[in-house]
Amino acid sequence: MINKVPGLRFMADALDLQSGPGRQHLLRQHLLTSAEEITYQLEKVAQLKSLLEDAAADRPDGKQLLESLKHALSEVHDITGTLTMLQSGLIPDDIGLFEIKRLALIIDRLSGILHTLQCNVVDFKDVSEIITILDPDKQRVPHFYIYDAYNKELADLRRQYDALSKMSSTPEDEQKAEKVRLQCLEIEDSVRESLTLQLKPFSQQLLKDLDALADLDIWLAKASLALRFGLCKPVVGHQNLIDHNGNSIEHRGETQYHNLFNPAIEDALKAKGKKYQPVDIMLDDAPCLITGANMAGKTVLLKTVALAQYLFQYGFFVPAESAVIVPVDRIMNSMDDEQSELQGLSSFAAEMLKINGIIHASRTNTRLLALIDEPARTTNPQEGLALVNALLDMLSQQNVRSLITTHYSGFDTNCRRLRVSGLRTDEISSKPTIETINDYMDYSLLEVHPAKDGQLNEEDEVPHEALRIAAILEVDEALLERAKWYLMSSGKQH
Amino acid sequence: MPFVDEILKYKSLSIVGLEKNTGKTECLNYVLRRLEHSGRRLALTSVGVDGERTDRVTGTAKPETELYKSLIFITSEKHFRQRRISAEILEISTRSTALGRLVTARALSRGKVMFSGPADTLWLRQLINRMDAYNVDTTIVDGAISRLSHGSPAVTDSMILNTGAAVSASITKLISHTKFVYELIRIPVFEGVGSVGSVSGLSGVESLLTRESGLYALDENGTIHDLNIPSVFLLKDHEQDLFRHGNTLYVTGAVSDRMLDFIRMQKGFKNTTLIIRDFTRLFVKPETYRAFISSGHQLRVLLSTKLLAVCVNPVSPAGYVLNSEELCAGLSEVLQIPVYDIKKQ
């Protein structure tokens, strides 16, 4: 999944997880679809984000406490195996008991830190009893062996063994020592058995704590990520209508982003000393058509909307200044990728199959977000336009929340339309080049309203900036001149 | 044996055998027995898998490593579970070897353990450094079969070399082979040329050590020039470039027979100083090495290891026994250092 969504890998890699269990939990995470679940997750991230922001300011040792919190998390081993073994009554060996003691001590330390920070984001059960069982000498260090304190006889036998094995050993002594050693082993086994009995009632609790540790690790990493990239906590927009069978039948409500940006691209631009222009966009439960010049960022916009939706439904903050997002059951894309060529499909065939998937899904009872980049662009314009018209009709009928970009003009449907502002005509002082074209591009979106007769104004038609952009890209002049000549003469024919 | 006290001067020691059955484990047991009452804290680990009760290759009896109380040791989970010693677990690694994670433990009685350790030298180095947390004075690394690499000064500071009848049934051959390895270990440290160009605050040697690949030349001012030859194995295509900046050369990687022969045959360049990181980078035959040296060239290392002693095992796994006194005397004479028969001690 993570590799299929553009930009998600970037965010996942940037996630600074400390513990093994945290990493495993992240890999197992599925797309959250219920508003309650998402709200819960986001609330936890928000709690830790404010902890990260305030701890250092609120108390002099705040920074240090946060560091030791992370350090404690980094020490957690995944001991699910040992704990399930314990749960089923099997006797762990010394390594297993060591791991249990170590985990209990880490939990104890973490609870202490969280308590000092007055943070109740996770609730660890009291582990002091476990520690008492495994630390009879009360040393509070994460070391373990079958302590002498467990059994008086064991202590005596060990002393005997030491005395016997110290002497320059005669065969007789060796025999005696071996006998004592075997006696020790027997007692050690019985101690392990009794420890297992004492610890068994705690196995469930420790398994839960291990999950809680993984959660804490992930929330903390998500909170750091939010601070690093300036992500915001989205508001969950949920207006599910539930039918009498308890199925959600419709999802009303608007998804709205204010100053949406793409973190990976912003990072890359920043490295070049450039700025990313964030955009505002709203999606309701209907298709929305986006037009705009080449290089106007339509594809990036689609990818960013997809990324934000995934991040939201994986419980991350999203790359925007503010956002209201409606959860969906499935996010479906039709965007260019290299996979189709590997499968031996033409770009048109691959695209049609993806669109077919979206149409089929739209007929089922699932809440969809469909993001379709320039459908039917690789076929002839007449049939292409017809296909896109049909697609828009179908998506409208099924109330599919969707974004469709296109260069075609002359649509018959009445769906919502947005246009990327495109090249700024007013303030071009010097000639834009391929390096500076970003500076002359206005990526903001304008709502396009058809006039009363349903016809679009001329300026709201699909912008004709292909030749201008090609010129900026320093495409051969003779070619462009010739293209212009064709354009003129076709205009005359009409 | 006086060298035992020497060990305590170093933070780490590797015990290296020229062959299997050269008495490495006996040497280790001897060292441990002698250090038990030294009042110093020791830790023990090994490289790769070792410590089987019988030798897997030859089937001969093999002494186990006998640990004393309070010794810290590192072995794999698998071998820890098979231990015949009571021990307190101190920590368990996150990374795993073929035999499971590594367990660090403290011996609570006398007893025996099989040893297995980290698979790579970097991890070994990290483990040795980690021993500071337990106030360990010296960490002893029990080496793997005929592998010198962990004897590298980049890993341990000092070493004991074990040789014996397993190397060769002929005393003459055994002495000659041991002498060759001894010569390599004793290659002198590079002292620098001219003012030894200090690059960005580092001394010339430190600056050379930071370079991880390629070939370099040092001119008479001590300035380091990258010869832009990616590897000695590509020397063929860059022969004309080798002496562009004089005849003091530093090779980051391995040095083979071919390289030594090539330099020796360039009659126009005498007195070449060839610098390598340490002796473990040298993969050459004795003949090639001696021909190189006797034609007036020299080899230098950036890091050297302290060889504390040479120990011999006169018994071969095939059953024949060499004359111990003759062997020790012969080796001492050639090496000019004391040589010990480990079985007699």
B125 in contact with A at a CB cutoff of 8 Å? no
Same domain, B131 and B214: no
pLDDT band at A80 (very low <50, low <70, confident <90, very high): very high
Q: Chain B: give the shortest CA distance to residue A3, in Å.
A: 26
A480 Cβ neighbours under 8 A, 6+ residues apart: A467, A470, A471
B81:A95 CB<8 A: yes
User: What's the domain range around A275?
Assistant: 231-463
Task: Enumerate the residues of chain A whose CB falls inside 8 A of the CB of residue B81.
Answer: 93, 95
Enumerate the residues of chain B whose CB falls inside 8 A of the CB of residue A99: 92
In CATH, what number is assigned to the domain containing residue A305? Answer: 3.40.50.300
Q: Is residue A47 part of a domain?
A: yes
Q: Which of B102, B110, B113, B135 to mutate to test the interface with A (most CBs of A within 10 A)?
A: B110
Q: Which residue of A has its CA nearest to B90?
A: A143
Within the 99-118 window of chain B, which residues sit less than 8 Å (CB to CB) from chain A? 103, 106, 108-111
- Same structural domain for residues B275 and B151? no
Segment A272-302, tens digit of pLDDT = 888 888 999 999 888 999 888 777 788 889 9
B294 and B333 inside one domain? no
Question: Å from B275 to nearest chain A CA?
Answer: 41
CB neighbour list of residue B116: distance below 8 Å, 6 or more residues apart: B46, B48, B49, B50, B51, B75, B76, B78, B79, B97, B99
**Same domain as A249, residue A208:** no
Closest Cα in chain B to A158: B109
> What tokens were used for A113?
């830190």
Name the closest residue on chain A to residue B102, using Cα atoms.
Answer: A95
Is the predicted pLDDT of residue A455 greater than 70, yes or no?
A: no
* Nearest Cα to Cα of residue B10 among B167, B164, B136, B180: B136
Predicted confidence (pLDDT) at residue A341 exceeds the cutoff of 90: no
Are A213 and A239 contained in the same domain?
no
Domain CATH code at residue B118? 3.40.50
Q: What is the pLDDT of residues B255-281, one digit of tens each?
A: 888 888 888 888 777 788 899 988 888
- Nearest chain B Cα distance for residue A159, angstroms: 9
CA distance A18 to A223: 13
State how many domains chain A has: 2
Question: What is the CATH number for B235?
Answer: 3.40.140
Matching residue, tokens 């008991």: A97
Q: Do A158 and B109 touch (CB under 8 A)?
A: yes
Q: What is the DSSP letter of A125?
A: P
Residue B272: inside a domain: yes
Q: Do A356 and A251 have their domain in common?
A: yes
What is the band of A76 on the pLDDT scale with cuts at 50, 70, 90?
Answer: very high
**CB proximity B95 to A under 8 Å:** no
| pLDDT above 50: residue A331 | yes
What pLDDT was estimated at residue B198?
Answer: 44
Helix A381-397 × helix A347-363 angle, to 10°: 20
Kindly state the average pLDDT of the residues A6-25: 88
In a domain, A476, yes or no: no
Phi and psi at residue A313, in whole multiples of 5°?
-85, -5
Q: Which residues of B touch A144 (CB under 8 A)?
A: 88-89
Of residues A465 and B85, more confidence is placed in B85
Distance CA B224, CA A316 (A): 51
Share of chain B above pLDDT 70, in %: 88
Provide the pLDDT for residue A317.
Answer: 96
Q: Measured between CA atoms, how close is B135 to chain A, in angstroms?
A: 16
| Cβ <8 Å between B86 and A184 | yes
Specify the range with the lowest mean pLDDT, choosing from A97-106, B188-197, B218-227, B317-326. Answer: B188-197
Using only C-alpha atoms, what is the Rg of chain B?
A: 22
CB neighbours (10 Å) of residue B180? 16
Q: Reduce the secondary structure of B42-82 to three states and give it as a string.
A: EEEEECCECCCCECCCCCCECCCEEECCCCEEEEEHHHHHC
Same domain, B118 and B236: no
Q: Is the pLDDT of residue B51 over 50?
A: no
Q: Is A161 helix (H, G, I), strand (E, B) or coil?
A: helix
Same domain, A341 and A430: yes
User: Which residues in chain A are contacts of B88 at CB distance < 8 A?
Assistant: 143-145
B40 touches chain A (CB under 8 A): no
Residues of A in contact with B91 (CB under 8 A): 142
**Residue B138 and residue B15 in contact, taking contact as beta carbons nearer than 8 Å:** no
Over residues B70-88, the pLDDT tens digits come to 999 999 998 899 888 999 9
Least confident of A31-45, A162-176, A442-456, B208-222: A442-456
Q: Does the beta-carbon distance from A158 to B77 stay under 8 Å?
A: no
Q: Tens digit of pLDDT for each residue in A240-272?
A: 555 556 665 555 688 999 999 999 888 888 888
Encoding tokens for residue A182? 């075997």
On whether any CB of chain B is under 8 Å from the CB of A237, the answer is no
- Whether residue A379 lies within 8 A of chain B, CB to CB, comes out as no
Q: Are residues A237 and A204 in the same domain?
A: no
B84 vs A: CB within 8 A: yes
Does B146 lie in the same domain as B54? Answer: yes
Calculate mean pLDDT across residues B329-344: 84
Residues B160 and B279 in one domain: no
Contacts of A23 in chain B (CB under 8 A): none
Structural domain harbouring B226: 204-301
Can you tell me whether residue A145 is helix, strand or coil?
coil
Asked if A93 is an interface residue toward chain B (Cβ–Cβ < 8 A), one would say: yes
